[in-house]
Amino acid sequence: MLTNSGEDGYVTQDTLEYYQTRAKSGSMLMTEYMYVTENGGPALTWKRGREQLAAYDDKFLPQLRKLAQTMKSAGNKAIMQIAHTGREANYRAMQGKQVYAPTGLEDGSDFSFLPYKVHSLSDEQIQEIIAGFGQATKRAIDAGFDGVEIHGANHYLIQQFVSAYSNHRTDHWGGSVEKRMNFPLAVVKTVMEVVNKYAPKDFIVGYRISPEEIHGQNVGYTWHESTQLINQITKQFDLDYVHLSMLNFDSKPGDALLLDADGQAANKFKDSDKPFATLFQPYLNGSKEIIVGGITSKAKAEAALALADLVAVGRENIIDPDFAQKILNHQEDQIVTTLSVEQAQQNHMTPGLIDTFSGPTAAIPLSGAENIQSLHQGFGGWTEMTYPQNSETK
C-alpha cells in the first residue's frame, strides 16, 4: 500500500517510522512499489510534494539500506516491490515531461480519462525499462532486501502490456495474447538473471497480478488469459510465489462490473463459481500462492489460508499493525478494524496515506476513513492537480 512518504523518490523519516511500527506485523514485509526508471513514476503525488519511492539510481541506496534494516528489525523478511507505472506516471506530466504506455496517441489509443497525453513506447525504450527492472533488483540485493516482487497488477505498465484494452501494438510486444505476454516474460527473465548472478540462494522472487481486467464495457483480459500468463512464467522460471491482487480474498470471475452495450449489468464473465485462488492453482507449477483482500479477523485469515498458501494483509495492517500479533496472542477481541484519529497518529499513518484515504475522491475503501477527515491536508486526487499548458497536456 503506497505511503506517499517519499521525497523526490527518497525514503524519508516518515517512511521509516511507518515501517518500523509494522516490523512485527508479519513474517514477510513488503514495501510499496518502487519505480524502476525515472519515467516509471510517480503515479500519484500529493500537493506538498511527497510521492512514491524510487529504485532507478544508485543514489537511493543509502536510504534503501536503512529501509531494509528497519523492516527486518524484528527478524522478518523484507521484500522490495518493483514497478513501472506507464500511463499512470502523472507527476512526470505535471513536470511537462512525456508519459508512456504500450500504445498512446501515435497508435490511436484513447485515454480520455487522463488530463495529459500518453505516448507509445519505442522498442528501445521498452528494452531500457526491462533493463531497469534488473537494475532495481540488483539494488534490492545490495540494500539487503530478502527478495523482490514484480508488480504486474493494478493497471501499471506490465498489466498495460497484457491488456488488450491498453495494448494495441502489432509488433513483438502486442497483438495476440501470446505476444502481449512477451513484456512480462522479458521482465521476469531479466530479474531472474540478476538474482541468479548476484543474490544469495534464498533470495525470494514473486509476481503480483490482477486476475482479470474488466471495467464497464472495457475488457483487458479475463482469468483465462491471466492464468495462461502465470502458467508460462512459472514454467519458465523458478518463481517463489504468485500474489493475486484482489479487493476480497475470495473474489471470483466477473465480480468486477461488466456493462453491455445498453449500459446494463452483464454476467458474461461469471463463468465459474470458484474463487480466483482456486482457479490459479493448476497453473502455479510449484510456486506458492499469496492472496489478499478484506482480511480483518482471525476467521477471515483462516478462511483465506484454506484457499492459498499465504495471506497478505494490507488495509487492516494500516489500521492495526498489531493485527497478527493479537491473533497469535489470542487477543482477537482487541483487534481494531475501524480507523480513528488516535489510531492514525499512534500507528504512524503517513500524511500521504491519510490524504489518500480521507480525500473526497478516495477510490480505495478503508473502514473509518471518514473519522480522519480532520487530518486531511489538501490532496483531492487527479482532478485537483495542475498540469502545465504545453504540448504534453490536453
Model confidence pLDDT, tens digit, residues 142-178? 999 999 999 999 999 999 999 999 999 999 999 999 9
* Among the listed residues 156, 183, 160, the one whose alpha carbon sits nearest the alpha carbon of residue 171: 183
Q: Quick check: 290 and 206 in contact, CB under 8 A?
A: yes
* Among the listed residues 212, 209, 165, 163, the one whose alpha carbon sits nearest the alpha carbon of residue 188: 209
* Amino acid 318: pLDDT: 93
Helix 182-198 and helix 123-143, axial crossing angle in degrees, nearest 10: 30
* Amino acid 210: pLDDT: 98
C-alpha to C-alpha distances, 394 to 90, 91, 93, 100, 108, nearest whole angstrom: 13, 15, 11, 15, 15
Q: Which domains are present in the chain?
A: 6-319 (3.20.20.70), 338-381 (no CATH)
Place of cell 504500450: 102
Helix (H) or strand (E) holding 326: helix 323-328
Place of cell 489518500: 356
Write the CB contacts of 73 (distance below 8 Å, at least 6 apart in sequence): 20, 23
Ordered alpha helix ranges (H), 163-219: 177-180, 182-198
Spatial distance between the Cα atoms of 153 and 28, rounded to a whole number of angstroms:
20
pLDDT of 42-84, one tens digit each?
886 555 567 899 999 999 999 999 999 999 999 999 999 999 9
Q: How far apart are the first and last CA of the chain?
A: 30
* Amino acid 47: pLDDT: 52
Q: Quick check: 97 and 39 in contact, CB under 8 A?
A: yes
Q: Quick check: 21 and 69 in contact, CB under 8 A?
A: no
* Amino acid 113: pLDDT: 83
Which amino acid, 321?
P
E-strand stretches of 160-294? 204-209, 213-215, 218-221, 241-244, 258-259, 265-266, 288-292
* Amino acid 391: pLDDT: 44
Spatial distance between the Cα atoms of 321 and 45, rounded to a whole number of angstroms:
25
Q: Quick check: 209 and 251 in contact, CB under 8 A?
A: no
Query: Residue 313, Cβ neighbours under 10 Å: how many?
Result: 23
Q: Which residues pair with 30 in a beta bridge?
A: 79
* Amino acid 388: pLDDT: 64
Residues of the chain with pLDDT under 70: 44-49, 257-266, 359-363, 377-394
Q: Which residues pair with 120 in a beta bridge?
A: 101
* Amino acid 382: pLDDT: 43
* Amino acid 36: pLDDT: 98
Q: Which three cell numbers stand for residue 225?
A: 488469459
Spatial distance between the Cα atoms of 157 and 88, rounded to a whole number of angstroms:
8
Q: Is the peptide bond prior to 42 cis by the omega test (within 30 degrees of 0)?
A: yes
Q: Which three cell numbers stand for residue 102?
A: 504500450
